[in-house]
Amino acid sequence: MAQYSFWREKWRLISEGLFRDTPPFFLVIGLCPALAVTTAAINGVIMGIAVTFVLMGAEVIISLLRKWIPRTIRIPVYVIIIAVLVTVIDLVLAGTVPAIHRVLGIFVPLIVVNCIILGRVEAFAAHNTPANAAADALGYGLGYMWALVAIGSIREILGNGTWFGLQIFPEGLPTVDLFKLAPGAFVTMAAVLAALNVIRRRRAPTSEKNAAIPVVSRNAAA
């Protein structure tokens, strides 16, 4: 029985980042890389792996050390741990996928200042057990990955006619180059956020819907 509730607890933590607070859709943080590297879906996967690795490492290490890190200097300590992990993944990516590493450019070292990492470390890992911190990191890391892949897919399909390099639209069909450029990133993100707003409002429980109705008519109905 204990085993069962252990995994259920972990799944609850993972699903929180994966579905409920997924950055940058439901929590608007970590926008810079989400706009900059999402010209193709595959970039989202690699960037997602990098962020998940750093988040996982930082949350577990800081959770293990949480009783020994003095409160007053905790932020510099966190930043050093994160920066070391980022250096590791930066060198690994440069060695394994050099072409994509070049496309991601300075956004890999810039994971150091990504609000998601420092935010989760400060809000969660600093007060929780390593196992819970790992679950939290997995949820937020993979959540960020699917978000990046979603935006990358939209931009790659509309801007290039391909998805993960596979031809989706027939060869001769014109593509909208704008989606590969900077304005396309902003517009795609705006459209996705607006669509999610609509979906969430539809799904909202009836009590919330009623709240939007003017007070007078609600009283009349009662």
Cβ–Cβ < 8 Å for 116, 144: yes
Dihedral, CA atoms, 6, 8, 10, 12, nearest 10 degrees?
-150
CA nearest neighbour of 12 among 135, 106, 128: 135
CB 80 → another protein: shortest distance, Å?
A: 7
Spatial separation of the C-alpha atoms in residues 77 and 54, rounded to whole Å: 15
Tell me whether residue 9 or residue 187 sits nearer to another protein (CB atom): 187
Binder to another protein among 45, 100, 103, 110 (CB under 8 A)?
110
Spatial separation of the C-alpha atoms in residues 222 and 220, rounded to whole Å: 5
Binder to another protein among 64, 80, 204, 213 (CB under 8 A)?
80
Among 40-48, 57-65, 74-82, 126-134, which window interacts with another protein (CB under 8 A)?
A: 74-82
CB 89 → another protein: shortest distance, Å?
A: 10
Q: Which two tokens stand for residue 39?
A: 């010209």
Tell me whether residue 14 or residue 159 sits nearer to another protein (CB atom): 159
Residues 176-205 that bind another protein (CB under 8 A): 178, 181-187, 189-191, 193-195, 197-198, 201
Q: Is 69 in the site for another protein (CB under 8 A)?
A: no
Q: Is 15 in the site for another protein (CB under 8 A)?
A: no
Spatial separation of the C-alpha atoms in residues 207 and 70, rounded to whole Å: 45
**# of chain residues touching another protein (CB under 8 A):** 41
**Interface residues toward another protein, by CB under 8 A:** 28-29, 31-33, 35-36, 76, 79-80, 83-84, 86-87, 90-91, 106, 109-110, 112-115, 118, 178, 181-187, 189-191, 193-195, 197-198, 201
